Amino acid sequence: MHSLRLKLIVGSLLVLTAVILSFDGFIFTAKRGALLDILDSRLFAESQSLARRLEIAGGRPVFDAADDAGAKPTITSLNRIVDENRLIVYQSPNSTKIPWPPTPKDASTPSWKTVRSAKGEAWRTVTWMDRLELDAESGEKNATRPETTITVAIQCAESLAETDEELRELASLLAGLSLAAFLIAGGGSFLLAGWALRPIRRINKALAGVSETRLDRRINPEGFDTELHPLIEQLNAALDRLDKGFQRERQFTADASHELRTPLAAILNTIEVMLRRPRAEHELIEAHQDNWRAARSMQAIIEGLLLLARMDAGKAAPAKEKIPLLALVDDIFASVGPQAEAGKVRLERAIDPGLRVLADPSQLRLALANLIDNAVRYNRLNGSVTIRARMSEGGALIEVGDTGIGIPTEQLPRIFERFYRVDPSRAEATGRSGLGLSIVRKIAETHGGRVTATSGPEGSIMTVFLPEA
């Protein structure tokens, strides 16, 4: 049963059924009790009038049946009187058709019982013991009978047919009313459940309008019950995250295709223009040089994208080992040396010779090489690049500082995004992939660390933190 509406309906009907049934039971029992009370007191009164007609004659109880025809209270009742020796003193006609309850030895309080005749009819009986005083003066007291009283059992019975009939009518009335109540309540709970579930349908409808291309849609919590506001807020927050994710993905794809198509267009166009007519050798050489540069920039982008894709897919898990940092930095300095010399940029380092960093050797080299390369490229004439490293907060902090023009504060949070360029025209001129810093960030993240940037008029500092564990 996976329908919320069905659960609500069935649940409310179960509760309702229990309430109706106990109400019916209470009414029925109360009515039955009241009817029996009336019947019982009538029976007792009748038996008392029977008792008044008992006399003692010759030391034995005798029933005065003289005015039987007139004084008999009801024709539907059966009566009998039994003495101590279970001998019938009196019994009304037909009184043998019911099994009379046994008479107790000496009970003065009346007891009521329901018995069934051979035909299955229910009869209500009352039984009580009456004590008849023996008259001493009449000489009825003798040696053989030392007692002064005689006890007789008086029993009256009346058919329960009328009472049962009345109770049956009540039962069918209650059944009819209950069924009607059940149906009305069932229909009501069906409508109520539908009404209660209406916001869910509305949310559903609102969500149906949100597809990959319309992720900017949000559900307005106004008009919804306050209980649903947290749910709607959560849904909207989830949509926000999805939307941003898709936007980043779209932006990345658009950027990647732009970055690749532009140099490709340059190569194709150069070739096509060259092929339009016979060319002199110097023209061909120049075209080849242009194409080589464009192809190299495509290569840098493709390799960067492949590396990022591998790391995104978790396929480039770092194989960590303790790396002597000083040797690694000197090695990178050696490879960027010619470029630094060309820009008259000094390469400086302040690293403890014993400092070892836990990292994947090739990934750490790539990250530091990217940062140092950037620091050299975006430096000023006669500037410097300074590497500092120390252990702190359970990891290694490596700083790469430059003396360039710095990065505007509002752009700092974005410089690690893929294809983000502080100055696009300069990046184009230097043939960078636009992925260098995002690769540094990805490497720091796969090591469980991070990279941050600070910048001022005297230059920028990129700080890589790599945890020890």
Partner 1 sequence: MRLLIVEDNRALLKSLKKGLEEESFAVDTAEDGEEGLFLAEANDYDVVILDLMLPKIDGLTLLSKVRAKRLSAHILILTARDAPEDKVRGLNSGADDYLTKPFRFEELLARIRALLRRKYRAKNPRLLVADLEIDTTTRAVIRGDRKIPLRPKEYALLEYLAHRAGEIVTRSEIWEHLYDWQDDTTSNLIDVFISRLRKKIDRPGLRPLIRTVRGSGYLLKAE
Interaction site with partner 1 (CB under 8 A): 254, 257-258, 261-270, 272-273, 276-277, 287, 290-291, 293-294, 423-425, 428-429
The phi, psi pair for 456, rounded to 5°, reads -150, -175
3-class DSSP state for residue 178? helix
Residue 138 CA, distance from chain mean position: 94
Q: How many residues does the chain have?
A: 469
- Least distance to partner 1 from the beta carbon of 456, Å? 24
- Beta-carbon neighbour count of residue 350 at 10 Å? 10
Q: Which is nearer to partner 1, 263 or 449 (CB)?
A: 263
Q: Which is nearer to partner 1, 257 or 409 (CB)?
A: 257
Helix (H) or strand (E) holding 443: helix 436-446
Q: Which is nearer to partner 1, 143 or 429 (CB)?
A: 429
- Least distance to partner 1 from the beta carbon of 278, Å? 12
Q: Which is nearer to partner 1, 230 or 408 (CB)?
A: 408
Q: Which is nearer to partner 1, 257 or 382 (CB)?
A: 257
Question: How far is CA 213 from each of CA 210, 217, 218, 246, rounded to the nearest angstrom?
Answer: 8, 10, 13, 9
Q: Please report, to the nearest 10 degrees, the dihedral formed by the alpha carbons of residues 440, 442, 448, 454 taken in order.
A: 50
- Least distance to partner 1 from the beta carbon of 280, Å? 13
- Least distance to partner 1 from the beta carbon of 434, Å? 12
Q: Which is nearer to partner 1, 304 or 318 (CB)?
A: 304
- Least distance to partner 1 from the beta carbon of 406, Å? 18
- Least distance to partner 1 from the beta carbon of 300, Å? 14
Q: Which is nearer to partner 1, 12 or 262 (CB)?
A: 262
Distance CA 90, CA 453 (A): 120
Which residue in the block uniquely carries the two structure tokens 């009336």? 38
Q: Which is nearer to partner 1, 197 or 266 (CB)?
A: 266
Question: How far is CA 133 from each of CA 57, 60, 153, 257, rounded to the nearest angstrom?
Answer: 12, 11, 15, 125
- Least distance to partner 1 from the beta carbon of 276, Å? 7
How many Cα atoms sit within 13 Å of 224 on the Cβ side?
A: 20
Find the DSSP H helices in 209-280: 229-274
- Least distance to partner 1 from the beta carbon of 305, Å? 15
Q: Per DSSP, which regions of 317-449 are E strands? A: 321-324, 346-350, 356-359, 384-392, 395-402
